[in-house]
């Protein structure tokens, strides 16, 4: 097993999920898109062009990933009652 594999294996799932968010955004060149807003059809307001999905099976990873998403600038979150993670997403948003 390489040093990288050993390091990754010993990290908590939540930390890996948080790091993955940042890496994927950087690799995809989403820095600018993350701050882009799209006007609503009625002209009353605008919404972020990029949202963060909260369908993450592990409750601890959900909380950590949501917290990291907030820290790196996400302001639109895909949440649904069927995800059954409202408590964990809410805790992350409350700080």
Active site amino acids: 83
Q: Are 62 and 91 contacting, i.e. CB atoms less than 8 angstroms apart?
A: no
Q: Are 37 and 49 contacting, i.e. CB atoms less than 8 angstroms apart?
A: yes
Q: Are 95 and 70 contacting, i.e. CB atoms less than 8 angstroms apart?
A: no
């Amino acid at each position: 097993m390489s040093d990288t594999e050993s390091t990754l294996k010993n990290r908590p799932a939540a930390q890996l999920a948080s790091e993955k968010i940042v890496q994927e955004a950087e690799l995809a060149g989403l820095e600018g898109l993350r701050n882009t807003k799209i006007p609503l059809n009625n002209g009353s307001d605008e919404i972020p062009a990029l949202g963060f999905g909260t369908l993450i099976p592990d409750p601890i990873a959900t909380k950590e990933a949501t917290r990291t998403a907030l820290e790196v600038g996400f302001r639109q979150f895909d949440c649904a009652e069927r995800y059954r993670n409202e408590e964990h997403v809410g805790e992350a948003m409350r700080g």
